[in-house]
Amino acid sequence: MAFVNELISEEDKQKIDWTKFKAYPYSNPHSPWKWTVDKDRDVFLVMLCGQGREEEHPEVYALSWKGVIIRFEAERDCKGMFVSGVDMFWHIFNIEVPLHFEDQRQEILGVLKEAIDAHGSVYKREQVKSVHIDID
């Protein structure tokens, strides 16, 4: 199964320790209602915090991969019109890969790119013509 965007079922919500999903160390835990998920690989992507004004903060996401939460920040931009399709441009940075998974960083980044592509524009991929991802 590939990544899909869907509502998180109550059954799935109960299986996950959402207290570990924080945008920042001082933030309250996030309890999302939707995710980009690949259930066959047990991997999912959730948005933890939306973008504030440009000078405030970027968006914050978490990728749950092999039971490990990989927090990262993103700035994204759309070019085009949603009625005819948009091109998405993502700048991903501050990726927090735990040290004991650093040797698997390239695999993690590959899965992260797949999830972001499927994520589209805030869990909507239908109107997206292309996705361009730049990772620092």
Quick check: 88 and 71 in contact, CB under 8 A? no
pLDDT at 41: 94
Tell me phi and psi for residue 134, to 5 degrees.
Answer: -115, 125
Nearest-angstrom CA–CA distance, 69 and 95: 11
112 to 42, 66, 82, 122: CA distances (angstroms): 13, 13, 24, 15
pLDDT at 116: 96
Q: What is the CA radius of gyration of the chain?
A: 15
Per-residue pLDDT tens digits of the chain, which is 136 residues long: 599 999 999 999 999 999 999 998 888 988 889 999 999 999 999 999 876 555 567 899 999 998 899 999 999 988 988 778 899 999 999 999 999 999 999 999 999 999 999 998 878 888 899 999 999 9
105 to 68, 115, 116: CA distances (angstroms): 13, 15, 16
